[in-house]
């Protein structure tokens, strides 16, 4: 997912019919920081297939962030808490169709309590609360900041795995990659910002 910041900046510039080299440079810095933290040694063929699929998903995610941000800034009366459910309904409808067509409901009986708890967390916390907070924040920041923050989850995830689960991590790479992304985020927010849309 490391290239998402570039997609965010590129789509925002395309929709706004402008070019911001500073935002692109900061997004590129966030990409470099994430690449430093990326694990090595994976199977090249598997990586190539996964890379293509993930980039398609990243492009969709980047476009969605910018379009939601543009919509909310253009229509401040559309409060986040009143329209967020429509986003989830769209996902529910699409996944229901694809699961039905692929015969995926047959595997529902194999879901145990642990898997059910994981699905509940992903649905309620990660997708529900997490994406609500992310979209609400996206309205309040510049596109360069939004782009950089897309990759800040990488060092945060590594740090949490290290602190909470005792997993091993290269501290030098964590410090370097995370430092680059934090520096890019701080630099992105130091530019003049326009009025924010009402979101509460």
Say which residues have a Cβ less than 8 Å from residue 75's Cβ, sequence separation at least 6.
none
Average pLDDT over residues 73-85: 91
Burial class (CB in 10 A: 0-12, 13-18, 19+), 149: buried
Q: How confident is the model at residue 197 (pLDDT cuts 50, 70, 90)?
A: very low
pLDDT band at 34 (very low <50, low <70, confident <90, very high): confident
pLDDT over threshold 60, residue 200: no
Greater confidence, 68 or 192? 68
pTM of the predicted model over 0.95: no
What's the pLDDT at 196? 47
Q: At residue 86, does pLDDT exceed 50?
A: yes
> How far is C-alpha 118 from the chain's CA centre?
19
For the cut 90, the answer to whether the pLDDT of residue 75 exceeds it is yes
46-58 average pLDDT score: 82
User: Would you list the DSSP string of 56-93?
Assistant: HHHHHHHHHHHHHHHHHHH-TTS-HHHHHHHHHHHHHH
Average pLDDT over all residues of the chain: 83
Of 150, 152, 156, nearest to 169 by C-alpha is: 156
Instruction: Give the pLDDT score at 46.
Output: 66
Which pLDDT score is estimated for 43?
63
Q: Are 42 and 71 in contact (CB under 8 A)?
A: no
Mean pLDDT of 15-20: 87
Instruction: Please give the average per-residue pLDDT across 54-63, as a whole number.
Output: 90
């Amino acid at each position: 997912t490391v290239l998402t910041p570039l997609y965010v900046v590129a789509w925002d510039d395309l929709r706004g019919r402008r070019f911001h080299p500073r935002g692109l440079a900061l997004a590129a810095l966030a990409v470099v920081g994430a690449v430093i933290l990326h694990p090595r040694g994976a199977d090249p063929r598997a990586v190539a297939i996964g890379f293509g699929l993930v980039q398609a998903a990243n492009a969709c995610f980047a476009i969605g962030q910018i379009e939601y941000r543009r919509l909310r800034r253009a229509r401040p009366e559309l409060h986040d808490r009143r329209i967020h459910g429509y986003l989830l309904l769209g996902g529910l409808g699409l996944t229901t169709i694809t699961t039905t067509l692929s015969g995926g409901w047959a595997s529902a009986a194999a879901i145990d309590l642990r898997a059910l708890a994981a699905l509940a967390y992903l649905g309620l916390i990660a997708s529900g609360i997490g994406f609500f907070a992310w979209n609400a924040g996206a309205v309040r920041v510049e596109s360069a900041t939004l782009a950089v923050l897309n990759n800040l989850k990488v060092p945060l995830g590594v740090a949490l795995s290290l602190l909470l689960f005792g997993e091993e991590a290269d501290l030098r790479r964590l410090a370097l990659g995370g430092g680059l992304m934090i520096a890019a985020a701080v630099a992105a927010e130091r530019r003049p910002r326009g009025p924010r849309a009402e979101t509460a």
